[in-house]
Structure 1
Amino acid sequence: MEAASLSGVLSLSKLSGSNLRNSDYRFSRSIPRGRCVASVSRHSSEGSNDVDKPSSKALVISSSDSNTNYSALKGANLSCGSNQKRNVNLQTNCAVGVCTFGENVVESHAHVAEEKLGVLLLNLGGPETLNDVQPFLYNLFADPDIIRLPRLFKFLQRPLAKLISVLRAPKSKEGYAAIGGGSPLRKITDEQAHALRMALEAKNVCANVYVGMRYWYPFTEEAIEQIKRDRITKLVVLPLYPQFSISTTGSSIRVLQSIFREDAYLSRLPVSVILSWYQRQGYIRSMADLIEKELGRFPKPEEVMIFFSAHGVPVSYVEDAGDPYKDQMEECIYLIMQELKARGIGNDHKLAYQSRVGPVQWLKPYTDEVLVELGQKGVKSLLAVPISFVSEHIETLEEIDMEYKDLALESGIENWGRVPALGCTSSFITDLADAVVEALPSAQAMSTSRDTAEEAEYDPLNYLVKLFFGSILAFILLLTPKVLLAFRNHLF
């Protein structure tokens, strides 16, 4: 499933166990105490290709492994400006923008005028035809941030990805067939890129806007190649995920770091990475606008339960790897409800998590279970809000609009509504443009340092033991009748 970036965790997550804590992407040492960028120059034009001069010191992200650990960033005790309304025990308060050192980051107009600016939008991508579904799923499950295997089991990543994609493809094809035969995500993201470029031009900022998908065309690697051909001299990376998660923004950043580390031009390119932006007032107000509009469609708007459905993540991501997704999601809901209350809208609300798969524990409560409970408690009117998505895709169009709607109506809920994804809503796009402008002064060449913890933990005997048992596991999996049948029918 597209955007079901976590749906490949399956029972294999159990193999990771405590390794989640030690095999990581430490956003760590390079994150200073700082503040969010507030002052920028609003003018730019194409010019010099000098990429050796970072305009200011910024958030630099260093990686050590294909897995992600956010615990170090949580402990950085960063602080933000006026956008922060509530902490919810989340120490990392500067998630709404790019954090900088405490020095003055105001740039001269002359320097900015020489820059050739680029903005890279990151998203997951989705199969555009039914024939694309199986290879798309393979790309998804081959991502080590999705199926998190211990380092010494990495040799199983691709065979397992092939196996899982083959087994899941028939069911996934049914879902995509139900929404027209493919994902609309690429088309919508291209439209958002165009709208963002126009919004930046309205702010006197000339920038090329690129789209890089993690698991389908146009891949992130393709976007980076175009950025090189265009000789971009400063880049803002903007993941289209409001809240940070290891499996979404984290995975995409890992790919960028890998690409930049191996390229002389890219390794010197000043880059600002916007890790998350769920606290931004423009985003909060845009969401509140959509909710307020949809509430008005109900016969009795004041009686409607506002039901936020977010994409789930395995509990191990939060508890073992330090993923801030749960905290950020809860704070996001709080801020939206505060905005609605300021408008005189005091409806009850509920947050639940959708799209779980496999036997491992995911964040609770689960959307399907809560819908049944609400119906049993006598809730008659419900407005579903797909809170972790800014584009329509299979999780909104099929999972929410079809599966969850049917379940809600069967459970006794009589009036159903759904808030559309933000898409190209003008206030939302304008706020993304503001975020880009605010991030520009903090661009700095990405860190290419590698962490040596992985090598320090290497134990030859441990490696041989795990290799032996891992090989047995792979052999057993590949010899099960269901797997053999699937491979015979789909691969040969």
Structure 2
Amino acid sequence: MNHQSMNIRIQAPCPPSPSSPRFHHKTPLILPRVNCSNEVASHVVLHMEASSDVGNSSITMSKRKRAFGWSQKQSLNKESFPLRALMTSSTQDTPASFVNDGKIGVLLLNLGGPETLDDVQPFLFNLFADPDIIRLPRLFRFLQKPLAQFISVARAPKSKEGYASIGGGSPLRQITDAQATELRKALYEKNVPAEVYVGMRYWHPFTEEAIEEIKKDGVNKLVVLPLYPQFSISTSGSSLRLLESIFREDEYLVNMQHTVIPSWYQREGYIKAMAGLIENELKGFTNPEKVMIFFSAHGVPLAYVEEAGDPYKAEMEECVDLIMEELERRKINNPYTLAYQSRVGPVEWLKPYTDQTIIELGQKGVKSLLAVPISFVSEHIETLEEIDVEYKELALESGIVEWGRVPALGCEPTFIRDLADAVIESLPYVGAMAVSNLEARQVNTFYRYIHLFYFINNRCVCYD
């Protein structure tokens, strides 16, 4: 029997020792490079499901009082990342061997978006043709593209109205290109000459187009960096699964040394950049200390978290806690809450929902609200139209008097420098094989990702 192999190198933070200080440097480790056939992946899932006591494996979150019913605990599999740890940068002089021995490339992965109104329908087709978005039972997978065509044509008129209201197209490509340019400059300033490429999942430049540029330029050391701070199988997972399939079919890529940074929400530079944007926006309110800080994250189907063990919800909650702790160090002690936006289709998504929470806040007497798009690093339709137009209108109708919104990070200097540090810190692990002293928990983290990839290959989850 022929098996298609899966080569995925994923970095994970080291579990902190009991004696570690609360905020400490965590050296990223490269997890073992493993060739997993589909058969092995199935075994991994079965083993994890049998050995993981989800119901009894609760990780206690921060004891900070959360606004309006944010839960105190989050249930996850035992293989989950350790929570409550801030990753500080310790980038020093990069060893010359990592820089001089080959050509370094950085691949930024993002969603993509239509640049003109004529692009909207084909963009939606690409979105819904992705089996990670609408997964049909195996017997009906021949209907994937016809169904995507039907949905994209049906939804295009309304979507075009949204894009028309923000200027006729998504600015995502322009912003991501600018981030790539600034990241390249930051790397050169740190004596790391690297080329930075942009690969989009559903529109130009597609991931496949970026890979062709990488091959043409002769890159032989690649750092893959999804521009999603928190990992989810519906964002980073989908992009990495596509990338894995591209690598598997190309001899050049099979032999390329590479590593993946799956999430980076704990990094100090990212946390400080987010806190700085929030602090700046609070100054525009009449009574800054009374403003409700409203974190709004893109939602995912509840099944991803409860059945597949997607770490997205836990990573999001930890990320919010870390930002609030940074704000406390700046003497900012505002109330805050977290909700999830952009749900579609009949399946249940992560709660609380953003729209419902805004109404509840108004009913509770909140008069000033600052929206923080926590899962987005670039402006696009979810920030410029959904938050700025729809949710603002809903907030004002619900009794909220003062409304503000924190901008997406974009090319914020602290953020870009921290991404550069993340890339540099990953270079020693490009092409590295298994580290001999990895503890079982760290190895299990790798199999957790295999679990996620298996889930999105085998479960039917329909968004629409």
TM-score bracket, normalised by the shorter chain, equals 0.7 to 0.9
Kindly provide the amino acid, as one letter, of the partner of residue 127 in structure 2: L
Matches within 5 A, 1:64-83: 64=38
Q: 1:426 to 1:119 in 2, by over 3 A?
A: same
Aligned position for 1:92: 80
CA contact (8 A) 2:11 2:30 kept: no
RMSD, matched Cα = 3.7
Q: Secondary structure at the match of 1:246?
A: coil
Kindly provide the amino acid, as one letter, of the partner of residue 314 in structure 1: P
CA contact (8 A) 1:26 1:72 kept: no
Kindly provide the amino acid, as one letter, of the partner of residue 190 in structure 1: D
Query: Is 1:214 matched with 2:193?
Result: no
Q: Secondary structure at the match of 2:235?
A: helix
Cα offset, 1:88, TM superposition: 5.9
Show CA shifts across 1:48-77 (max 9, x none). xxxxxxx98756685849x9999989999x
Cα offset, 1:159, TM superposition: 1.2
Cα offset, 1:156, TM superposition: 1.8
Kindly provide the amino acid, as one letter, of the partner of residue 275 in structure 1: P
Using the alignment, how far apart are the partners of 1:317 and 1:415 within structure 2?
Answer: 35
Query: Is 1:305 matched with 2:284?
Result: no
Show CA shifts across 1:378-422 (max 9, x none). 100000000000000000000000000000001100000000000
Using the alignment, how far apart are the partners of 2:227 and 2:153 within structure 1?
Answer: 28
Using the alignment, how far apart are the partners of 1:204 and 1:299 within structure 2?
Answer: 45
Show CA shifts across 1:162-220 (max 9, x none). 11101100000000000000000000000000000001111110000000000000000
Q: 1:96 to 1:252 in 2, by over 3 A?
A: farther
Query: Is 1:354 matched with 2:333?
Result: no
Q: Secondary structure at the match of 1:429?
A: helix
Using the alignment, how far apart are the partners of 2:154 and 2:48 within structure 1?
Answer: 37
Query: Is 1:429 matched with 2:399?
Result: no
Aligned position for 2:275: 288
Aligned position for 2:249: 262
Q: Secondary structure at the match of 2:234?
A: helix
Cα offset, 1:26, TM superposition: 12
Using the alignment, how far apart are the partners of 1:257 and 1:425 within structure 2?
Answer: 31
Using the alignment, how far apart are the partners of 2:357 and 2:248 within structure 1?
Answer: 45
Matches within 5 A, 1:21-40: 35=14
Query: Is 1:389 matched with 2:376?
Result: yes
Cα offset, 1:271, TM superposition: 0.8
Cα offset, 1:93, TM superposition: 2.4
Matches within 5 A, 1:29-428: 35=14, 64=38, 91-93=79-81, 109-110=96-97, 112-428=99-415
Q: 1:34 to 1:412 in 2, by over 3 A?
A: closer
Q: Secondary structure at the match of 1:403?
A: helix
Using the alignment, how far apart are the partners of 1:71 and 1:408 within structure 2?
Answer: 46
CA contact (8 A) 1:71 1:321 kept: no
Kindly provide the amino acid, as one letter, of the partner of residue 290 in structure 1: L
Kindly provide the amino acid, as one letter, of the partner of residue 311 in structure 2: P
The size of the alignment, in residue pairs, is: 398
Question: Identity of paired residues, percent?
Answer: 65
Cα offset, 1:276, TM superposition: 0.3
CA contact (8 A) 2:378 2:409 kept: yes
CA contact (8 A) 1:241 1:390 kept: yes
Aligned position for 2:445: none
Cα offset, 1:148, TM superposition: 2.1
Cα offset, 1:151, TM superposition: 2.9
Show CA shifts across 1:112-160 (max 9, x none). 4122000000001000000000000000001111112233332221111
Q: 1:88 to 1:398 in 2, by over 3 A?
A: same
CA contact (8 A) 1:70 1:322 kept: no
List alignment gaps of at least 5 residues for structure 1: 1-24, 41-54, 77-84, 98-105, 456-465, 467-476, 478-492
Q: 1:118 to 1:394 in 2, by over 3 A?
A: same
Using the alignment, how far apart are the partners of 1:338 and 1:151 within structure 2?
Answer: 47
Using the alignment, how far apart are the partners of 1:446 and 1:171 within structure 2?
Answer: 49
CA contact (8 A) 2:371 2:404 kept: yes
Q: 1:111 to 1:275 in 2, by over 3 A?
A: closer
Q: 1:112 to 1:32 in 2, by over 3 A?
A: closer
Show CA shifts across 1:256-299 (max 9, x none). 11111011110011111000001111111110000011011101
CA contact (8 A) 2:232 2:311 kept: yes
Q: 1:322 to 1:292 in 2, by over 3 A?
A: same
List alignment gaps of at least 5 residues for structure 2: 16-24, 53-60, 63-72, 86-92, 435-449, 455-459
Using the alignment, how far apart are the partners of 1:422 and 1:33 within structure 2?
Answer: 24
CA contact (8 A) 1:269 1:446 kept: no
Show CA shifts across 1:343-363 (max 9, x none). 111110011111111121111
Cα offset, 1:33, TM superposition: 9.1
Q: Secondary structure at the match of 1:388?
A: coil
Show CA shifts across 1:311-344 (max 9, x none). 0111111112221111111111111111111111
Kindly provide the amino acid, as one letter, of the partner of residue 92 in structure 1: S
Using the alignment, how far apart are the partners of 2:7 and 2:246 within structure 1?
Answer: 20
